[in-house]
Amino acid sequence: MTAQGQHLTSSTDVPRRNWAGNVRYAAGEFHRPTTVDAVRRLVAGSSRIRALGTGHSFNRLGDTTGDLVTLAGLPPTIEVDAERRRVTVAGALRYGDVARHLHSQGYALANLASLPHISVAGAVATATHGSGPTHGNLATSVAALELVTADGDLTHVDRDTDGDTFAGLVVGLGALGLVTRVTLDLVPAFELRQYVRLDLPVEALDEAFDSAYSVSVFTDWRTPRLREVWRKQLADQPPPEADWLGTTAADQPRHPVLGMPAENCTPQLGVPGPWHERLPHFKLGFTPSSGDELQSEYHLPRTAAAEALAALAEVAHLIAPVLQVCELRTVAADELWLSPNHRRDSFVVHFTWVDDADAVLPVLAEVEDRLAPFAPRPHWGKVFVTDPTELAARYPRHADFAALLTRLDPTGTFRTDLLDRYFPR
């Protein structure tokens, strides 16, 4: 059953592959509704349905053999509540577009991911990252959600009134409903400067992480030192000293992946600019890379950073040949049930691999084995091979989420094969 006028067949209307191209969606029908009522009818009449965001998941979390729907056709609303310092936005909007609007009104979000191209609802549903020792992932800024549940009802949940259940709903993996609107906390607009430093000694990593508002460290596992440190510091703070932590200053703009054009990246060299043009690594108007890649990401206790890096160094000879770049970050702890940062400050290891699953997967298995003593939690939307029993044990609220999933979606309307593997019925 299809909402009349909402079934689309043209491949130009709804993407048939994810952004990287490594997943071809198996959906039987694709939809682009233009009203919330049409979304409700579509969900109520579908036995299996999933929402498609901007396609930045690298696994089949968002895939289905039923209906696939993009909510990008809904009105692109952005409504600021100045009194409560919150903004309510259409879930399909990209963070970069929301950020520009907020900045024009004197507001900001406390954190952004490296890509401004990702959708708000999709990033929230997978606890997609930002970086900074005192900043949580993007889902921690969520104050309320509006979603269409499995029976087609439009439901509103709020952090202030729904308490613990709300903490289970926010990072919902798309399994609890189609999110139509998201309410986010705001802070006053601010400016940052971005400095890139070269050749950081590994033993200085922890100090580097605490040195600025947001810090990312890049390496290729080919040298003992860490290749680049991207420091995003408040504009009124002094620049790093010439010999800061034994590094040298980059004398020209850099791209994290060697050989890629630096013009795709946000301004560096200490030039001050608005928060939304410095926190991401990449400009909204540019494609950050070719898309010919796979990605994996693991969140570990921050206290285990040195030991985890030493463990990975033992297999650096396996990692380097299939790696484009590795990013190291920190994320603050939170209370969201399926957040990989649940109740622990995190050290994050992100791998951008070459686009060759046959070559990458054996190395990935070795990486997970080396990190296993530190109970790594993989990013839900990236490539991982973790055993379901082991993964469940790493989330104290895993059983609670499974129960919530059964209660809100008893017939499996929003389920996928990947969800069935990690949350079996």
Is the confidence at residue 11, as pLDDT, over 60?
A: no
Confidence of residue 288 (pLDDT cuts 50, 70, 90): low
Whole-prediction pTM value? 0.94
- Give me the CATH topology for the region 78-188: 3.30.465
Q: What is the reported pLDDT for 5? A: 39
Which ranges of 135-234 would DSSP assign to H, the alpha helix?
159-169, 205-209
Q: What is the reported pLDDT for 13? A: 62
Fold match between 78-188 and 191-289? no
Q: Which residue do the tokens 């994320």 mark?
A: 331
Q: Where are the domains of the chain?
A: 78-188, 191-289
Is the confidence at residue 3, as pLDDT, over 80?
A: no
d(CA 309, CA 303): 12
- Give me the CATH topology for the region 191-289: Alpha-Beta Plaits (3.30.70)
Q: Would you tell me how many other CB atoms lie within 10 Å of the CB of residue 2?
A: 14
For 194, the 3-state DSSP assignment is strand
Residues found in the chain: 425
Comparing 1-5, 184-188, 269-273, the range with the smallest average pLDDT is: 1-5
**Kind of pairing, strands 377-378 and 78-81?**
unpaired
Report the amino acid identity of residue 349.
V
